[in-house]
Amino acid sequence: MLEIVDRLEHKLKTLDDQLQDPANSSDIKKIITLNRERRQLEELLAVARRYRKIRTSLDDARAILRDSSDTELIEMAREEAAEYESQIDAVEREFKLKLLPRDPNDDKPSVVEIRAGTGGDEAGIFAGDIFRMYQRYADRRGWKMEILSSSESAMGGFKEIIFSLAGENAYGRMKYESGVHRVQRVPATEAQGRIHTSAISVAVFPEAEDMDIEVKENEIKVDVYRSSGPGGQSVNTTDSAVRITHLPTGMVVTCQDEKSQLKNKQKALRVLRSRLYDRMMAEQQAKIAAERRSMVSTGDRSAKIRTYNFPQSRVTDHRIGLTIYQLNDILNGGVDALIDPLMQHDQQERLKLESQSV
């Protein structure tokens, strides 16, 4: 493990040399990539250096206990060894977790699709609530949100809304949100005061770049039509709305939010490209061992992952059995209270698999 720390220190020096190299100063994209890699390495080295300090100090104390005949020195070494032994297992485990390979998609922007499911008008209203939850979450994390497509429901909220989130580790955190989200509450449309259960689905994809997936013009069919509002009424006098059908897969993407047909087409292509990339990644993941597919970040999107219970102010994530009585804070963007434990669980499962394969 100490050799790994030395290699990380050498890698940091190499990155610093590259950042200071005048030949790279004009390549903005490369500088951004190097800075991102350096920042991630610094986070890893913070744990690595702590591990090295404790490991070295523990070894020194044990050497004194083994070789010294000085009673006072032995007593001091015994106290130090006991202190370091109480810390070494935890910091070594943290170091191993940090060393786990990162998903190369984690730093990509994410494309998020929210769709109303069972529950009629209440499902559409809840879809709006969850969209605003992610909107506030993005604000807290300093991410940029861009709405790509939306279809409002008659009673407020959305039948469907698609948006992108760009920022540090955007997909790496949002990928844990894919699945069915269920709400239990008294709907505004309920006259008898009875609690109803409604559901929405959330799908999260890494936003694909041109280099990730190629969409050829001869593989798509583009239809244009007039945009419509919640009640089906036309809200535009020109054929600006765009429907793209990917002929090889049958995937259909529509976009009508922009007044420009070109902008709608560009947004629809972004969504299509990301869906195709996600499909390609899913096919690759299907080849991985069954235990890896059971991890929370790669679960079935049709599975119920979370319940929001309003009468009890309770949120339960069913994948790891986590229950939090902080509904209002979570809906106001405090989603990290759910995502952080999911990420930790995922890392621990991966660490088990790594240790079993050694």
Domain of residue 255, CATH code:
3.30.160.20
Mean pLDDT (the chain) is 86
Please identify, among 237, 264, 287, the residue that sits at the C-terminal boundary of a domain.
287
pLDDT digits (tens, 9 = 90+) for 156-174: 899 999 999 999 899 999 9
Please identify, among 76, 99, 122, the residue that sits at the C-terminal boundary of a domain.
99
Q: Are 277 and 308 in a shared domain?
A: no
Q: Are 10 and 73 in a shared domain?
A: yes
Please identify, among 287, 315, 348, the residue that sits at the C-terminal boundary of a domain.
287
Task: Domain of residue 237: give its range.
Answer: 208-287
pLDDT of residue 341: 95
Q: Are 316 and 194 in a shared domain?
A: yes
* Residue 121 lies inside a defined structural domain of this protein: yes
Q: Are 89 and 6 in a shared domain?
A: yes
Q: Are 248 and 222 in a shared domain?
A: yes
Q: Are 193 and 115 in a shared domain?
A: yes
Distance, CA of 216 to CA of 238 (rounded, Å): 27
Amino acid making up residue 180: V
Mean pLDDT of 311-339: 96
**Sheet strands side by side (includes 220-225):** 220-225, 241-246, 251-255
pLDDT digits (tens, 9 = 90+) for 331-352: 999 999 999 999 989 888 887 7
pLDDT category at 299 given cuts 50, 70, 90 is: very low
Q: Are 195 and 114 in a shared domain?
A: yes
User: Is a pLDDT exceeding 70 seen at residue 60?
Assistant: yes
pLDDT category at 30 given cuts 50, 70, 90 is: confident
* Residue 292 lies inside a defined structural domain of this protein: no
The pair phi, psi for residue 2, each rounded to 5°, is: -65, -30
* Residue 64 lies inside a defined structural domain of this protein: yes
**CB-based contact 111:274 (threshold 8 Å):** yes
Which residue did the predictor score with more confidence, 88 or 211?
88
**CB-based contact 325:158 (threshold 8 Å):** no
Locus of tokens 């699945």: 179
* Residue 21 lies inside a defined structural domain of this protein: yes
| Token digits of residue 314 | 């309770």
Q: Which string of DSSP letters, residue by residue, matches 77-141?
A: HHHHHHHHHHHHHHHHHHHHHHHSPPPTTTTS-EEEEEEE-TTTHHHHHHHHHHHHHHHHHHHHH
Q: Are 276 and 342 in a shared domain?
A: no
Distance, CA of 259 to CA of 5 (rounded, Å): 55
Q: What is the largest CA-CA distance in the chain?
A: 94
pLDDT category at 294 given cuts 50, 70, 90 is: very low
3-class DSSP assignment, residue 216: coil
Number of alpha carbons in the 13 Å side-chain half-sphere of residue 279: 11
The pair phi, psi for residue 290, each rounded to 5°, is: -60, -35
User: Is a pLDDT exceeding 70 seen at residue 128?
Assistant: yes
pLDDT digits (tens, 9 = 90+) for 171-198: 999 999 999 999 999 887 666 778 889 9
Q: Are 200 and 305 in a shared domain?
A: yes
Give the CATH number of the domain where residue 345 resides. 3.30.70.1660
How many folded domains does the chain comprise?
3
User: Is a pLDDT exceeding 90 seen at residue 107?
Assistant: no
Q: Are 198 and 306 in a shared domain?
A: yes
pLDDT digits (tens, 9 = 90+) for 222-241: 998 877 655 455 455 567 88
Which residue did the predictor score with more confidence, 354 or 123?
123
pLDDT digits (tens, 9 = 90+) for 236-290: 556 788 999 999 999 999 998 888 888 899 899 989 989 898 888 777 666 544 4
Distance, CA of 112 to CA of 181 (rounded, Å): 14
Q: Are 201 and 228 in a shared domain?
A: no
pLDDT of residue 285: 66
